[in-house]
Amino acid sequence: MVKAVAAGVPSLAPFFNENQGLGRDAQVRVQTAHGGLQQGDTPGLYGGSKQPTICDVARLKEFLTDPANERKAQAWATALSLTTAEIPDYLGRLTPVLLRHDTLVKNHDYKKGKAVPFSALLQTGIAILVDERGLPAVKCSCGNPLRPFEGDTTRIKVEFDDRNEEWKGYEKSSVVAVRPAPREVEQLALVDVHEPDRGVNRPVGTTGEDDTTFDTRERRAVPDLAGTTFGQASRRLVGTGLAAAFAGGGLPPDNARVTASDPPAGTELRFGEYVTLSVAGGATSGGSSSGTSTPPRSGSGSDPGSSGSTRDPSGTTPSTSSPSSSSTSSPSGSTPPPSSSGSGSSGPSSPGPTSGPPSAGPPSSAAPPSSVPPSSDPPPSSAKPPSPKDPTSSSPPPPTTSSPPETTGSPPTSAPVTSSAPPPETGRPATSAPSTGGPTASTTA
């Protein structure tokens, strides 16, 4: 059971009074995504706005560090596997964005001095803070902590009520859950929710003051990905400004060999459009994202925008299919949008090194150059400490039931569950065991 949370509707048990102005949701037209899981660095996954006040991070930090709110800060930190001393540094690494898809998360109410988790579907347009791997971390308007959705995206039952009525554009098959990017990103490539022709490169840990812009209508060629690993191909697509598509919500192992892409190499697409990858061997099963919950570290389809006057070049509506031995269909194209805005200060020729639009740099630009090796090599083991609560990735999760999640008041202390599957070749967390043997099959990634 998943509770619907509509944009602009106050929470009944928030961590912080929503009248304090911590954040403001927007009216945004829902976008169609390819598959139930999306990586946090997917180009165009999130939206931006010229309005810098969608999330007041400074005010949130001030509230959480006020000794008068110590009990509430302790519950907030516990939900995110933090200590209260780590809150300021953690908030400094978060980035405000707007949801462009109806998004599944583990939300938290504040009841009787504790953070009470529950599965939630956040409506498109809700303002959130995301971490350096693109994972939802905080719901801005009420300050509620967020964690990755742990259920099966294909087996949810959304509960609407008289306060959160079913919204226009809701489609159960189009909801997404976000899994962490394989590596920490330096900036997020966003789409302006009011001017979809305008892309925004937002450095991680900033609130909009250092944004640079680019033209989302600029065409970019699909790179030749045949023979690369799935992990390498995904990073190259992100660096190009294109999204990797995968069917059924599952993912192949990072070391699976890519045999073809649809559309093929050389095809020119707009920013954020999907490329479906076929790999040797079967795809992983299920649509679960339960193996992707990564706690924060203590260190370091064409759809109009809300105004209805423009068309979103990255919001194409690709066909959705489940993993099978047959080839998946290519994402559907759409008519290029009108020239309502030009490129911004950075221009299409000067994108960011990570999830932004294409650049002249190498494919390994999806990670900070100071700490991450080239994309063809696995990241160092020190890139991320072990998760204190990392569900196993070698078996599918139990089906989502109607019973609420267990209430916890303290961070998990048990050791990570040992997975029987070998670790993936790159830093991307695996969501299921790699396939063995079998004929060549198509998988969207």
Instruction: State residue 34's pLDDT score.
Output: 74
Instruction: State residue 310's pLDDT score.
Output: 34
Q: Give the whole-angstrom CA distance, residue 155 versus residue 398.
A: 10
Q: Which of 179, 100, 168, 172 is nearest to 136 (CA)?
A: 179
Place of tokens 């697409």: 269
pLDDT band at 79 (very low <50, low <70, confident <90, very high): very high
pLDDT band at 195 (very low <50, low <70, confident <90, very high): very high
- At residue 325, does pLDDT exceed 50? no
Q: Which of 320, 301, 322 is nearest to 311 (CA)?
A: 301
- Contacting residues for 227 by C-beta, under 8 A, at least 6 apart: 257, 258
- Complete DSSP assignment for 128-148: EEE-TTS-EEEETTT--B-EE
Identify each DSSP E strand in 12-123 by its residue range.
37-39, 46-48, 95-99, 103-111, 114-122
At position 296, the amino acid (one-letter code) is P
- Contacting residues for 208 by C-beta, under 8 A, at least 6 apart: 48, 49, 50, 52, 96, 202
pLDDT band at 33 (very low <50, low <70, confident <90, very high): confident
Q: Give the whole-angstrom CA distance, residue 442 versus residue 445.
A: 10
Instruction: State residue 250's pLDDT score.
Output: 66
Please, are residues 333 and 316 in contact by the beta-carbon 8 Å criterion?
Answer: yes
- Complete DSSP assignment for 334-384: -PPPP------SS-TTS--SSSSS--SS-GGGGS-TTT---TTSPPPGGGS
- At residue 246, does pLDDT exceed 90? no
pLDDT band at 118 (very low <50, low <70, confident <90, very high): very high
Higher pLDDT, 228 or 382: 228
Instruction: State residue 253's pLDDT score.
Output: 82
pLDDT band at 37 (very low <50, low <70, confident <90, very high): confident
Structure tokens at 69: 């709110």
Taken as a whole, the chain contains a residue count of: 445
- At residue 339, does pLDDT exceed 80? no
Q: Which of 346, 369, 33, 365 is nearest to 200 (CA)?
A: 346
Q: What are phi and psi of 68, to 5 degrees?
A: -65, -20
CB atoms under 10 Å from CB of 125, counted, come to 22
Structure tokens at 257: 């060999």
What pLDDT digit, counting tens, does each position of 384-434 carry?
A: 444 434 433 334 444 444 444 444 444 444 444 444 444 444 444 443 344
Q: Which of 163, 159, 78, 177 is nearest to 403 (CA)?
A: 159
Q: Give the whole-angstrom CA distance, residue 425 versus residue 229.
A: 9
**What's the predicted TM-score (pTM) here?**
0.65
Mean of pLDDT over the chain: 73
Q: Give the whole-angstrom CA distance, residue 49 versus residue 101.
A: 16
pLDDT band at 51 (very low <50, low <70, confident <90, very high): confident
β-strand partners of 220: 269
- Which of 38-52, 144-158, 280-294, 419-433 has the highest average model confidence (pLDDT)? 144-158
- Contacting residues for 398 by C-beta, under 8 A, at least 6 apart: none
Q: Give the whole-angstrom CA distance, residue 119 versus residue 224.
A: 39
In three-state secondary structure terms, 127 is: strand
Higher pLDDT, 404 or 274: 274
Average pLDDT over residues 127-154: 95
- Complete DSSP assignment for 186-211: SEEEEEESS-TTEEEEEETT--STT-
Structure tokens at 9: 């509707």
Q: Which of 341, 42, 398, 38 is nearest to 197 (CA)?
A: 341
Q: Give the whole-angstrom CA distance, residue 371 versus residue 268.
A: 32
In three-state secondary structure terms, 95 is: strand
Instruction: State residue 22's pLDDT score.
Output: 84
Higher pLDDT, 286 or 159: 159
Structure tokens at 79: 């939900």
Average pLDDT over residues 342-362: 40
Instruction: State residue 231's pLDDT score.
Output: 87
pLDDT band at 50 (very low <50, low <70, confident <90, very high): confident
Structure tokens at 97: 């964005």
Q: What are phi and psi of 105, to 5 degrees?
A: -145, 170
Instruction: State residue 247's pLDDT score.
Output: 52
Instruction: State residue 282's pLDDT score.
Output: 54
Instruction: State residue 395's pLDDT score.
Output: 42
The 3-state secondary structure of 237-272, one letter per residue: HHHHCCEEECHHHCCCCCCCEEEEEECCCCCEECCC
